Chain A
Amino acid sequence: MAIAAKMIQQTGTAGAYPTTSPDIPARELTGSQIICEALEREGVELLYGYPGGAIMPFYDALTGYPSLHHVLVRHEQAAAHAADGYARATGKVGVCVATSGPGATNLVTGLATAFMDSVPVVAITGQVANPFIGRDAFQETDVLGVTQPITKHNFLVRNADEIAEIIHKAFYIARSGRPGPVLIDIPKDVQFAKAQYRPVVMNSEEYLRSQQPTPPPTYLIAQAAHLIAQAQRPLIMAGHGIILSGAYNELRTLAEKTNIPVITTLLGLSAFPDTHPLHIGMPGMHGPAHVNRAIGAADLIIGIGLRFDDRVTGNVSQFAPHAKFIHIDIDAAEVNKVKVAAVPIVSDAKVALTALNKAVEPTDKSAWLAEIRSWEAKDRERQSSIRRNDNYPDPVSILEAIREAAGDEAIIVSDVGQHQMWTARFYKWTKRNSHITSGGLGTMGFALPAAMGVKMGLPDTPVWVVAGDGGFQMNIQELATLQQEGVTLKIAIMNNGYLGMVRQWQQFFHNHNYSETPITGPDYVKLADAYGLTGMRITSRADVPAAIQKAIETEGTVIIDFVIEPEINVYPMVAPGAAITNMIEEA
């Protein structure tokens, strides 16, 4: 299910947007009812939100629209993350709702998360009534100002006549081009006001010309094909754009036709099967050594739908120093932002790859791949000689056991920190779009509410949360929402009693000064029980597979508290600002 499959459908045919015969008679409705009508027309099934003073007229109207299933979260941040998770998993626009002031400001972290990772979310916030705006009214916040840098666009609705059009525009902006969050701020008096409602006929082309993906010019495709034919040590780097565009097959065709090894970034994981002979791994700060070495040796990088984030590049001037770049991205502002591209292609990934696949000739890069594999084998040999403490459940064995038991079906939602890097590295990603995490913003507390959105969007898919004991406590209140909605998640907490990633940095870069990183938590077995869920505590490696099996067999949400080795590290690691070929390895 790709966001772009829908997007292209929307943008490719002019006027495919909500159109209706102008002879439908107008009806008098309240602003709140018009919001609901427009949401129904957008095909919204689920809203995550929390009522409050300035959004009450909307909640009043909502009960008249049973097709709009509202989920009462326990904190607005979780509403934004749940909408985000729903959108990432289903490719549809996620919707969250909050009241003015604190309700709206609580959405901010979730919107910023969606913005950084290009996820289509529409947020609807109540605002104090027009006469009170600018008077420091109760629960008044300048939400337009606050969310301006973290939304693709935001609207203040000035009167009820504007509502329907603005809602359709918001959905269009959220999902078109490079997707992102859009916020609609609606004053309370506008929600109450009556207006003539007629389903909107919208000319999105005219309003939103900058959002249209254009087909790449043929001369650029020819230049790219030429560089690929010339290259001795080329690499494909595939990012989130593959998933957003639904360009899985096109990526695979390019790789297989040219025999070029494929790297997937953190958000590109599961865009290309880990088990494919051409897949070599994840790049950057915690990428395996052979991937970063390959980048260091490459003479051509074909970057598709990624933005060369600093966690990928390390020191930019020493990133792929011998390589030319072909950079395909839908956002013109990303091309040439970090690395100057020899061939910059501003295009939807699927469209560009379809054209490129026709232009490239089959090539043989087996010697290059063999060289990378020999580096990989050496690393593996070295790692196998490292002695580990076998008493603790270790992160790799937990992930392997989940993979073993859940098979190819599960979606894994990880939080942020050490466990996130282990999950990215050691889970075998074969199911498309099965890896969901907060990449760009690195938002602790993301996993639990986002997984709730994933599961509600895809109820037949098993969904696992992998979280640390720090991040899990940041949105732990959502266990109540799971209980109220009867949503089933399987939750694996990697509990080391530390804010592990920060502790690791303190160990490496701050002279072992573990300042404010030791952390305690609740008894997760009792906690699960308190919420009417099932909890387990696992302290030995031998018990890991059985625990995971039991969690899968147990009905409802299960929390497994894996007590892992307290000071275990993520290896290899590139120090921030260092060249990615300069890695800290496990001794």
Chain B
Amino acid sequence: MGNMQMSTTIERAGHSNIPPDIARNYILIMLVNDRPGAVDRVVGLMRRRRANMQTLVMSQSITPAVVRLSIIVNDSEVGIHHLVEQLRKVVDIQEVISLTAEQAITRELALIKVSKDDANFNDIIACGLLFGAHTVDVTPETVTLEIAGSVENVEKLIERLQAYGIREIARSGHVSIARGNEQN
């Protein structure tokens, strides 16, 4: 009986079931004490509460001994409010804010290593320039481009470079900050 309803909706804790296509991404920004096990607790909580992290960025914050995490989750698995309340209980988390894409500025950095030969080298460089990418490394067989910008821009460049053969990509994950006077 329950199984038949499952095919068209997703069951979520604390929410009515939702059609899969209206689930959206949320950006969680956290300030976490740099104590043994603190980041483990965040990551472990995500797993236990069935929230699948799409990207996770960890870096220094402006406060010494406090780490800043940006995590993108999709709320199809678990209601975002429930997740935020669970995170707020973690003693080493000083602050949690949840933002939608519209409330945040999000950037990504990517290093893209592309196969090259003498014939297409100039085309690759030109393609990169079109997206504002720099060339950071050149070897006889490869060229590595660095791009920083909106996630869409990074993805478009990657798509364009597929034609030349991409050997490896290193992406930073989404780095986000709240717009203007948004909380935080």
Interface residues of A (CB under 8 A from B): 144-145, 148-149, 152-156, 158, 173, 178, 208, 210-211, 315, 331-333, 336-338, 340, 577
Contacts and interface: CB of A to CB of B under 8 A. Distances in A.
A332 B87 CA distance: 11
A213 B79 CA distance: 23
Contacts, number: 53
Contacts of B48: 149
5 contacts: A148-B44, A149-B44, A156-B37, A336-B14, A336-B79
B81 A154 contact: no
Given A337-B82, A338-B14, A340-B14, A210 B44 contact: no
B13 interface: yes
Contact of B89 (A155, A331, A340): A331
Instruction: Say what secondary structure dominates the interface of chain A.
Output: loop
Contacts of A208: 91
Q: 6 nearest interchain CB pairs?
A: A333-B85, A153-B91, A156-B36, A332-B85, A336-B14, A144-B37
B82 A336 contact: yes
B167 interface: no
A344 B36 CA distance: 35
B107 interface: no
A338 B41 CA distance: 23
Nearest to A173: B91
Contact of A340 (B2, B16, B88): B16
Contacts of B14: 336-338, 340
B39 to A, nearest CB: 11
Contacts of A210: 88-89, 91, 93
A145 B91 contact: no
Contacts of B88: 210, 332-333
B91 A336 contact: no
Interface of B: 2, 13-16, 35-37, 40-41, 44, 48, 79, 81-82, 85-86, 88-93
B67 to A, nearest CB: 16
Contacts of B36: 144, 155-156, 158
Among B36, B81, B86, residue most surrounded by chain A Cβ atoms (within 10 Å):
B36
Nearest to A145: B40
A331 B82 CA distance: 11
Contacts of A577: 2
Given A336-B81, A337-B82, A154 B13 contact: no
Contacts of B37: 144-145, 148, 154, 156
Among A152, A155, A333, residue most surrounded by chain B Cβ atoms (within 10 Å):
A333
A468 to B, nearest CB: 30
B85 A338 contact: no
A337 B84 CA distance: 12
Nearest to B43: A148
A554 B86 CA distance: 50
B157 to A, nearest CB: 39
Contacts of B40: 144-145, 148
Nearest to A156: B36
A559 B93 CA distance: 48
A101 to B, nearest CB: 18
Contacts of B90: 153
A207 to B, nearest CB: 8
A333 B82 contact: yes
A472 B15 CA distance: 41
A152 B91 contact: yes
Nearest to B40: A148
A333 B16 contact: no
Contacts of A153: 90-92
A389 B151 CA distance: 74
Contacts of B15: 340
Nearest to A334: B85
A112 B169 CA distance: 42
Nearest to B15: A340
A556 B62 CA distance: 63
Contacts of A211: 91
Nearest to A333: B85
A577 B2 CA distance: 10
A255 to B, nearest CB: 28
B19 to A, nearest CB: 17
Nearest to B81: A336
Contacts of A152: 89, 91
A333 B91 contact: no
Nearest to A177: B89
Contacts of A155: 35-36
A333 B86 contact: yes
Contacts of B2: 315, 577
B183 to A, nearest CB: 15
Nearest to B86: A333
A338 B15 CA distance: 8
A333 B89 contact: yes
Given A336-B14, A340-B15, A148 B82 contact: no
A196 B55 CA distance: 44
A334 to B, nearest CB: 8
Contacts of B92: 153
Among B2, B15, B37, B40, residue most surrounded by chain A Cβ atoms (within 10 Å):
B37
Contacts of A158: 36
